[in-house]
Amino acid sequence: MIGGGLRAIFETTAPQKGELLSVVRQNRSNNLIVYFNSYGVENRPGKQPGRPFGTKFQNYRKVIRYDAHAIWFVEEKGSWYLEHQDRILDVLMRYIVEHDIAAIKMIGSSAGGYAAIRMGLLLDQRLKHGGSDATILSFAINPQTGFRPDLFARIERTTLESRWQGARLGQDPIVLAKDYIDTYAPLQIDLVELARNYQPRNVGIVLLYDNLNPIETTFCSDLAGIDFILHFPVPLGLNHFDGATKILLNELWPVFDQALPFPKLDNADGELRALT
């Protein structure tokens, strides 16, 4: 039943506020990769430079192969990075100016994909006011794009009409808790509100999503018809996590390498340090 499903979503209690971890692998180029971790990534043993909590940096070995500075943001709690929005943008602006960054690629899946889209748009605005000509290209894999009741209802209806056998919205994927929705609603947390009337300075967005999963398709269709957003459907028919994992492994990197290409390094080593 649609109403019951939506009640379950909106009655979810928001977790307590958490910390934000940001680390960087520096480089001598003027390229930058920014990675927003998704939730549920397992802890990773080994060195933990200034980490307030254990985590694995997603696609670490892939990212450090590029001739680019690399920054990871990892959120302890599930605010879809809204709780830390200003800090993230301040950190990025300062780093871009200090290192004369000219090209920026953002990556994220699920909530990290939401953050890659959102921060790409907001950073583009800040760079415009700051006089920077840096280009931004955001890659979002199976992102949640909004939290409006009518969008949730459309997703519930589509899953029923398509006889979707996978997990329901609120289970896989999870969604932003109601307390967060209420707190951050004035910030235009539905991405279509930011993007619909936005005049991009130098930003593009690539959506990669499982178009045989009605939840992913409905989320991404909320951003249809916006000329600086490219849709890249991948026919998988998998649950959210499995679909995002497969796209990250098999589909993202060829597209990533074609658009605003970054050179590869012969030596992919690099030291991580905390970024404040």
For residue 6, pLDDT beyond 70: no
- 253: confidence class by pLDDT, cuts 50, 70, 90: very high
- Which is it for strands 69-75 and 31-36: parallel, antiparallel or unpaired? parallel
| Digit-coded pLDDT (tens) for 45-75 | 344 555 544 567 888 889 999 999 999 999 8
Q: What is the mean pLDDT of the chain?
A: 88
Give percent above pLDDT 90 in the chain. Answer: 68
pLDDT of 19: 85
As its CATH architecture, domain 2-274 has 3-Layer(aba) Sandwich (3.40)
Cβ-contact 147, 154 below 8 angstroms: no
Length of the chain: 276
Sequence-distant (≥ 6) Cβ neighbours of residue 145 within 8 angstroms: 114, 117, 151, 190, 191, 192, 219, 220, 222, 223
The pLDDT of residue 24 is above 90: yes
Instruction: Give residue 40's pLDDT.
Output: 67
- Condensed to tens digits (0 to 9), the pLDDT of residues 184-236 reads 999 999 999 999 988 888 999 999 999 999 999 999 999 999 999 999 999 99
> What are 105-152's pLDDT values in tens digits?
999 999 999 999 999 999 999 998 888 899 999 999 999 999 999 999
Alpha-carbon 59 to chain mean position: 14
Tell me how far apart the alpha carbons of residues 227 and 37 are, in angstroms, rounded to a whole number.
27
Q: Residue 137 corresponds to which tokens in the numbers above?
A: 């290209």
Could you tell me the CA-to-CA distances from 50 to 24, 98, 257, 274, 275 in Å, in that order? 11, 22, 31, 6, 9
pLDDT at 45: 39
Give the pLDDT confidence score for residue 10 in this predicted structure: 44
